[in-house]
Amino acid sequence: MKIIVFSDSHRDLDHMRQAVEREQPDTVIHLGDHDTDAEQLGREYPQLPLICVRGNCDGWSDTPLTLTIVLDGVRFFLCHGHTYGVKASPLRAIYAARENKADILCFGHTHEALLDQTMDSPVVLNPGSCGYSYRPSYAVVETLPGGRFDVFLRDCDGEALL
């Protein structure tokens, strides 16, 4: 299964559309800051499952602040990150992911891509901002048999990041 992870689109749907066309994912995750962008993407690709959490710019949305989900045997803890203070440190979000027995912690908010696979669990993933930024980016998670997975960071031109 191929999963694209976006965050912080801030009304820039073009980069998300291009990534969906390039990657042909099975599922899309949006980590907030304009969850309405994710809703619009869902209308444009109705066959594509979409999972979304609320960011600090999402106002009175009824989208959840956090989600714990399992996709193809891989357990994800999803949050935007603002309620965990990730701009100072991702540590509180990492603890929350561990409490939820997540294999992967996915958060945004900082607009800076991050992939830390040095810990046993969870893998720490911030896809960066797919919106208007210096180098818009996203992440791809490819699940493998037995609950294993690979994670890649890409800029919105599809080039490897980091």
Residue 122 lies in a domain: yes
Predicted local confidence at residue 149, as pLDDT = 96
Q: Which domain holds residue 8?
A: 2-155
State percent of the chain over pLDDT 70: 99
Residue 34 lies in a domain: yes
Predicted local confidence at residue 59, as pLDDT = 84
Q: What is the pLDDT of residues 89-148, one digit of tens each?
A: 999 999 999 999 999 999 999 999 999 998 777 999 999 999 877 899 999 999 999 989
Q: How far apart are CA 73 and CA 147, in angstroms?
A: 5
DSSP 8-class letter at 7: -
Q: What is the chain's mean pLDDT, rounded?
A: 94
Q: How far apart are CA 30 and CA 32, in angstroms?
A: 6
Tokens of 21: 């066309």
Comparing CA positions, the residue from 125, 129, 23 lying closest to residue 79 is 125
Question: Helix 13-23 to helix 35-44 angle, to the nearest 10 degrees?
Answer: 50
Query: In Å, how far from its chain's centre is CA 94?
Result: 15
Residue 161 lies in a domain: no
Indicate if the alpha-carbon torsion angle 75, 81, 83, 85 is positive or negative.
Answer: positive
Tokens of 13: 């749907």
State percent of the chain over pLDDT 90: 86
Residue 113 lies in a domain: yes
Q: Cα dist. 143→4, 90, 121, 147, 151 in Å?
A: 11, 24, 16, 7, 9
Look up the pTM and report it. 0.96
Predicted local confidence at residue 133, as pLDDT = 78
Residue 160 lies in a domain: no
Cis previous bond, 122, omega within 30: yes
Residue 27 lies in a domain: yes
CATH number of the structural domain spanning residue 109 = 3.60.21.10
Q: What is the pLDDT of residues 71-89, one digit of tens each?
A: 999 999 999 999 999 999 9
Lowest-confidence pick of 46-50, 66-70, 131-135, 136-140? 131-135
Predicted local confidence at residue 132, as pLDDT = 77
> How many domains does the chain divide into?
1
Residue 35 lies in a domain: yes
**Do 113 and 121 touch, CB atoms closer than 8 A?**
no
Whether the pLDDT of residue 161 is over 90: the answer is no
Residue 135 lies in a domain: yes
Q: How far apart are CA 96 and CA 24, in angstroms?
A: 31
Predicted local confidence at residue 95, as pLDDT = 96
